[in-house]
Amino acid sequence: MINNLDYEKIVCDLYEEILLRQPDKTGLYYFVSQLKSEKISVDDIKKLLLESEEGKSIQNFSHYTDKYWNDLQLVNEYKNKLSTDNQQIDWINDISNKFSNYIPFENVLIVGCGNGWLERRLYDQGIGKNFDAFDILEDYLVEAKEKKEHRNINYFVDDINNLQNLTNEKYDAIFNFAILHHADKIDLAMKKLSDSLKPNGLIFNEEYVGPARNQYTDEHLEKMFSVNSDLPERFRSKHALRPPLENFRVEPSEAIHSDLVISTFKKYFDVIHERNMNGGIAYQILWNNIEEFNNSDDPEAKKWLAYLLEQDLKFSNEKKVPILFWYGVGTSKH
């Protein structure tokens, strides 16, 4: 005979599996009583949770398989223009122009290296000689090690929230590409990175610095809605322009303290170069909405993507929407 505790465990397990959380008291009481009276089955509960708005939101969210605005060439040219004044040169290629007296950096740290694309590129361009690179995921490091070939790159496991394996004043350069907005302990992360940089070393960042959890204000949302409605139907985003908070149970570190990135950075580093890379209009509208824009032979696609980026620039310059992306270079204050 099944008792109440067994029913509660069944319901709790379903909530954890599907909604990635424990049930509220009302939900728990309701489903336990329905199961106990045999009015519904376990499969019925599973179906109800999967078909709920919360369940659908979680199922449809996958951070690492999403398509983003920078998957479009015209967007990359827009970002390049903002960061380097030349739409054909991104900030990585611009290092040899703006910071030629620093390179090659002797010892370089890559923060959250993923599959290793950044350090391979920096090595091949002669920007650095000796690289340390870390990631929290072993699978990424296995792939990175397989691809490093002859390059002088040392890989190790570490977590942006503790950084146990860094040595003080070891690095001539640190590169962070969109990892700091994942840091829960962002102050600690910035301090440890600052400590690991040599007195004359440089830290380079491209970061998402918009509202935490992408929770845009109503005023900001209204402007995105307005621009989205200007687009022909086939180019409009069909997604919620303010992501549901339940999405972030899938990737709980995503944009956790993104709104604190710049202020915390400036606490530990002196900024010697910075550029806003905007995004307040175009980024969210293009999230998982790039297919119709991705045909270079379609004049309508080119026209409306250009319009979208024009509006992004206009609203950003007028400070009517927040800056979502930022490129900054700094030196340690220690």
| Stretches in the chain below the pLDDT threshold 70 | 1-4, 60-65, 250
Claim to verify: residue 159 and residue 41 sit in the same structural domain:
no
Residues 220 and 169 in one domain: yes
Give the residues across from 128 on adjacent strands. 105
- Domain with 171, as residue range(s), is 63-332
Domain boundary among 43, 59, 75: 59
Greatest alpha-carbon pair distance for the chain in Å reads: 77
User: Are residues 278 and 218 part of one domain?
Assistant: yes
Give the rounded distance of the alpha carbon of 215 from its chain centre: 14
48 and 133 together in one domain: no
* CB-CB contact of 207 with 181 (8 Å): yes
| pLDDT at position 250 | 65
Give 197's strand partners. Answer: 171
CB-based contacts of 227, cutoff 8 Å, min separation 6: 281, 285, 308, 311, 315
Residues whose CB is less than 8 angstroms from the CB of residue 203 and which lie 6 or more positions away in sequence, other chains included: 173, 174, 175, 176, 193, 194, 197, 269, 329, 330, 331, 332
CATH number, domain containing residue 151: 3.40.50.150
CB 84 within 8 A of CB 94: yes
Last residue of a domain, one of 38, 59, 80: 59
Q: What is the DSSP letter of 23?
A: P
Could you tell me if 236 and 205 lie in one domain? yes
**Residues 76 and 21 occupy one common structural domain:** no
Q: Which two tokens stand for residue 19?
A: 């909604």
> Which pLDDT belongs to residue 50?
87
Q: Please, are residues 215 and 189 in contact by the beta-carbon 8 Å criterion? A: no
Q: What is the pLDDT of residue 64?
A: 46
> So what's the pLDDT on residue 63?
44
Quick one: 52 and 67 in the same domain? no
pLDDT given at position 4: 67
The phi and psi torsions of 196 (rounded to 5 degrees) equal -80, -10
Question: pTM of the entire structure?
Answer: 0.83
DSSP 305: H
Of 59, 79, 104, the position where a domain reaches its end is 59
Q: Do 194 and 55 lie in a common domain?
A: no
Same structural domain, 14 and 135: no
Whether residues 73 and 18 fall in one domain: no
Q: How many domains does the chain have?
A: 2
Do 53 and 27 belong together in one domain? Answer: yes
User: Is 18 in the same domain as 69?
Assistant: no
DSSP per-residue letters across 128-147: EEEEEEEES-HHHHHHHHHH
Q: What is the pLDDT of residue 37?
A: 87
